[in-house]
Amino acid sequence: MLGAIDRFYASQGYYPWKISSTNPVSDATVWAVVDDSTWSDGTTAVITKLAEAGTGELKASFTTRITGTSYNTLSKYNSGDPGSSTYVCFLPKSSSFQTEAGTRCGEALPDDYPAEACPAGCAVAKTCYSCLP
């Protein structure tokens, strides 16, 4: 997912959640689920945009899998500040990854790291997200 977003940006000059490079909408994409119904540029779902002919950044099989109801939900975040990272986050299933995510949330995090990934008490409840920039 991150690779597809990066490649789209490199080839098009704007993020896939924008309509064009001159679109006045912020580069921000708030904390939300990666899906094909709500994450859009206002007209086209971002998942569709990344998978369609011309960009082809995501294979249809990957798109179908990550939006399926049995898949571990992915969330995305970008603060919109210049130089900020785009994060794709998930709730870890294994105990070791849950512990790692809880430890990370207890440490100093980058300024652009999504606060939603580390809700209060998440280390104990094992509900901290792992986020990849």
- What pLDDT tens digit does each residue of the chain (133 aa) get? 888 888 888 888 888 888 888 877 777 888 888 887 778 888 888 888 888 766 778 887 888 888 777 888 888 898 888 888 899 999 999 999 999 999 999 999 999 999 999 999 999 999 999 999 9
Q: Kind and range of the H or E element at 130? A: strand 130-132
Check if the beta carbon of residue 100 is closer than 8 Å to that of residue 82.
no
Map residue 85 onto helix, strand or coil.
coil
Structural domains counted in the chain: 1
pLDDT in the model for residue 28: 83
For 99, the token pair is 């512990």
Confidence (pTM): 0.81
Check if the beta carbon of residue 92 is closer than 8 Å to that of residue 105.
no
**Distance in angstroms (rounded) separating the CA atoms of residues 50 and 5:** 8
**Distance in angstroms (rounded) separating the CA atoms of residues 100 and 123:** 9
Map residue 87 onto helix, strand or coil.
strand
Q: Count other Cβ atoms within 10 Å, centred on residue 111.
A: 10
Residue 32, phi then psi, degrees to nearest 5: -160, 165
Domain hosting 35: range is: 2-132
